[in-house]
Amino acid sequence: MTSSSTTSGAQAGPQSVPPIVTVDWLHRRLETDVGRVVVCEVGSTMGGGDPGADHRSGHVPAARFVSLDHVLADPPTATAGRHPLPSPEDFARRLGAIGIADDDTVVAYDRRGGGGLAARLVWMLRVIGQPAALLDGGLAAWDQPVEAGDVDVDAVERTTRPWPSTAVADAHIVADHIRAGGVVIDSRDRSRYAGDNEPIDPVAGHVPGAINLPYPDNLDDHGRFRTGAELVDRFAVAAGDDHPIVYCGSGVTACHNALAMEHIGLGLPRVYVGSWSGWSADPERPIAIGPNP
């Protein structure tokens, strides 16, 4: 198994772009495929502040700003969670408005560096068959001058592509999968999983039977993805499951684990988009507390 630094991750079906790429890879593609590679910065108001203003203060040249809140998710509902997927029609329209065409290769990053937000865009595109990758190291890895201000783009028409049923899971599928002995991975930090701390959702804990693999542990001390061998060891628990499921708080950072799993050849797992925000909103759903599944 090669290191993630070589960007030789698994490929998704017909796609020729690995799920995780380095800045060197991006430089090569920008030099050879000018106009076909679109760089995107994903931001959200979840952490407070103005992510659009942050983008305008300095970004990878020509990088489009993609709002997690308004492009990659619909408004929250009860059991659908805090970041439901938009309809295929709305997703196509929103991407078209920022000039992302059907045949563009998208490379996404965020200011967190690790890609916890940008992974959502990459996952959404990959599951509908569009080449997309997460930039390892995020904006901090960019080694050339940045560009400030707005990025002017021309809107394009996009094809509407449905969300594949094999890519997503709901609460019933999660419960059935656990009952059948399948692997379900909770991507949140250990304190939230254990129920010791819940800063966002009204109920603490985790889905009974889910194991805890916090997504930040995909990264080394420098904020880059760990080597392929390290990730293989990390996700060994899922190697025997052909259809594992990942979740987090609201279906965003779970995509980071999904991409890491695809990167090492496990294929894309299903994402429970409602995640803990959806599961815990239903009083009929059981809840586990503590460090164990």
- The pairing of strands 20-21 and 245-247 is unpaired
114 neighbors 259 (Cβ within 8 angstroms)? no
At residue 228, the 3 state secondary structure works out as helix
Using only C-alpha atoms, the chain has a radius of gyration, in whole angstroms, of 18
Which among 108, 94, 115, 206 is positioned nearest to 158, based on CA atoms? Answer: 94
Q: Which contiguous run of DSSP H or E holds residue 193?
A: helix 190-194
What is the end-to-end Cα distance of the chain in Å, rounded? Answer: 29
**Coil/strand/helix, residue 90:** helix
Q: How far apart are CA 290 and CA 210, in angstroms?
A: 12
Let me know: does 189 contact 215? Beta carbons within 8 Å: no
> Running DSSP on this structure, what letter comes out for residue 236?
G
For the annotated catalytic residues, the residue numbers are 248
With the C-alpha atoms ordered 127, 4, 253, 242, is the resulting torsion angle positive or negative?
positive
Token pair 């019933």 is found at 172
Which H or E run contains 135? strand 132-135
